[in-house]
Structure 1
């Protein structure tokens, strides 16, 4: 066995992750008040549902869940039939991600007929220890220094649990963590025809950011204009040569 092949055996095996984002023409995912974004079209929401229907699991951050109060289940009969034909559960697993797990138990999310998981830290898991009906599974994957979720280990754990395709739908902090792990395989970006501006308005990728020389590189796969919006599909170039991406 070559040295290169030996190295590949030790690469973490991540799920295939598709990031799905709608932004204003100036790259904002919400306005300066961080109100729930409602600016995408029915066509974009249908596109998001198709991406969710193709996934085994859906990742979203606590801020996204608090803002909307719900997640997007698969409702379209054709998409439900296709999941059934493929032998998949009718709904993908909906995975809320939060260091603190400070989520209001009265959110409508907890009444939706979807499988719910929580990805958190040890202290976050303790918050939900006595609420066994809220989440089917609570995964505590802390960093060694206790500052948050160890995303590289968490993604490997999700793959080990059978979630091989994941749709990541925001927000910016979550996508920044996934990008830092070199875990995003493709990106669907919907450009919506409005300008929001504002230094406090969040963008698609948050975190500390990167210098240009270290920027993640994209290959454009398709461009589709539709009723004033533009649907862009990119492949994200990976440094994880030989991964299962």
Structure 2
């Protein structure tokens, strides 16, 4: 049964060997201007973005909508100029001095009871969401169901790989946009789009290829998660 939750789309750039960052986990700045424009378009079409604390620590910022046409389209649709940017972190361990906290975007925090303690009563986050499993982990399904109640219908997932893998394991991903960039990063510890212990081949999530676009040396792959017909 399909749970009432936002439509979710993962948007990631990766090397030709499937790495989303190098072995140092440096910020992945190997995508082209076309890839950045593609990412901005996906963010502009969303009501909210969701990304892990590791992704935020690597970049220190989030991507805002700046293209005039995209801003105009959001305004015409009755939306705010920027979607909500939601950081997910078990520990709540974030540096309040990073540039992200000066960017003109609505900021929400998704964390645990312990992770929320430092941020309560402060101004950095407009909302602090706490949904925990009995084991004290963040309850992703309950979170997404709550977001739907707040009229967030389209959610873009910006990484990292652990978040994507966790959502795949819970069948909470609907689509993926993967940009294949023309370089080889290698590295046994370099992160991939889905970081977990892995799926047995017979239980692996299956994808349906919807679209393939080539722009110069990059390839944009659009997939939909296959699900049994209801």
Q: TM-score range by the shorter chain?
A: over 0.9
Q: Structure 1 residue 149 and structure 2 residue 149: aligned?
A: no
**1:190-230 deviation per Cα after TM superposition (whole angstroms, max 9, x unaligned):** 00000011111111100221011111111111111111000
Deviation (angstroms), 1:107: 0.8
Q: Structure 1 residue 196 and structure 2 residue 185: aligned?
A: yes
Deviation (angstroms), 1:177: 1.4
- 5+ long unaligned stretches in structure 1: 1-7
> 2:213 corresponds to which residue?
224
Please state whether the residue corresponding to 2:221 is helix, strand or coil. strand
Following the alignment from structure 1 to structure 2, what is the Cα–Cα distance between the partners of residues 109 and 153? 26
- 5+ long unaligned stretches in structure 2: none
> 2:41 corresponds to which residue?
50
> 2:197 corresponds to which residue?
208
For the 8 Å contact 1:56–1:166, the answer to whether it is kept is: yes
Following the alignment from structure 2 to structure 1, what is the Cα–Cα distance between the partners of residues 4 and 226? 16
Please state whether the residue corresponding to 1:66 is helix, strand or coil. helix
**1:146-175 deviation per Cα after TM superposition (whole angstroms, max 9, x unaligned):** 1x2011111111111111101101000110
Choose from 130, 140, 143 the match for 1:140: 130
Choose from 15, 19, 27 the match for 1:24: 15
Please state whether the residue corresponding to 1:184 is helix, strand or coil. coil
Following the alignment from structure 1 to structure 2, what is the Cα–Cα distance between the partners of residues 210 and 88? 38
Choose from 59, 63, 67 the match for 1:72: 63
Alignment size in residue pairs: 230
Following the alignment from structure 2 to structure 1, what is the Cα–Cα distance between the partners of residues 196 and 78? 38
**1:121-170 deviation per Cα after TM superposition (whole angstroms, max 9, x unaligned):** 11111121131x10000001111111x20111111111111111011010
What does 1:1-245 align with in structure 2 at a 5 Å threshold?
A: 8=1, 11-131=2-122, 133-146=123-136, 148-239=137-228, 242=230
Deviation (angstroms), 1:178: 1.2
For the 8 Å contact 1:182–1:238, the answer to whether it is kept is: no
Following the alignment from structure 1 to structure 2, what is the Cα–Cα distance between the partners of residues 31 and 114? 28
**Structure 2 length-normalised TM:** 0.97
Please state whether the residue corresponding to 2:100 is helix, strand or coil. helix
Deviating 4+ runs (over 6 angstroms) = none
Following the alignment from structure 1 to structure 2, what is the Cα–Cα distance between the partners of residues 199 and 92? 35
